[in-house]
Amino acid sequence: MAGDSEKPLDESKSYMGIPEAQFVEDVDSFMKKEDNANAQEVIKRLDEQLNKYKFMEVHLQARRKKLKSQIPDIKSSLQIVKEMKTRKDTAEVIETRYLLSDQANVMLEYGLGDAEGLLSKNLGNATKNLKQVEHDLDFLRNQCTTTEVTMARIYNWDVKRRRAEKAAAEDKPLKGRGRGRGREFSFE
């Protein structure tokens, strides 16, 4: 997994390197930037980013579901191996080989000690990965919220701007010449 490290991340970071959404505090100055000339284009760009976040969220939810189903299986297998190890030391003769399935769905044969070590390692990795996936899901939800709020702020800014332009246009009297008698009149 990208960014696999033992140290915990703060809430504003992602283990998978998910980009952080930009919160727009000052919409006026944001929209004055060269690549933000059209509010609809900016909203479209943000919507595309939101869709990417949603796609990542679906992927992480599937991964979380898989890990949540694997952890009980690993725990159960580990418990069976431990039980077999305790019975091995009794006077009763037990000859057994334990089969473990790896990620490639290949069956391998392990001794009890090796099986216990591998299962313990797998349990630790699955638990750590589950915590990282849950952290990234929380991070993604925050990015979705930030993006949606930014989209709403830009939309509202655009509506306010268009209303102001319309009001300014309506305040200017239109002057022209009438056909009869050469008089000026205004349209209001």
Cα separation, 48 vs 53, in Å, equals: 9
113-152: per-residue pLDDT in tens? 898 999 999 999 999 999 999 999 999 999 999 999 999 9
pTM over 0.85: no
Other CB atoms within a 10 A radius of the CB of residue 129 amount to 19
**Contact between 1 and 132 (Cβ < 8 Å):** yes
**Which residues make Cβ contacts (< 8 Å) with residue 67, sequence separation at least 6?**
126, 129, 130, 133
Cα separation, 149 vs 38, in Å, equals: 18
Smallest Cα–Cα separation from 39: which of 154, 141, 172?
154
24-54: per-residue pLDDT in tens? 999 999 999 988 889 999 999 999 999 999 9
CATH architecture of 44-157: Orthogonal Bundle (1.10)
92-109: per-residue pLDDT in tens? 666 666 555 555 566 678
1 pLDDT higher than 60: no
7 pLDDT higher than 80: no
Task: Calculate mean pLDDT across residues 62-68.
Answer: 97
User: What does the DSSP 8-state code read for residue 26?
Assistant: -
Residue 94's pLDDT is 62
Domain boundaries, the chain: 44-157
Residue 37's pLDDT is 84
Q: Could you tell me the pLDDT band of residue 183, with boundaries at 50, 70 and 90?
A: low
Residue 80's pLDDT is 85
142-177: per-residue pLDDT in tens? 999 999 999 999 999 999 999 999 988 887 655 554
* CB-count exposure of residue 186 (10 Å: 0-12, 13-18, 19+): exposed
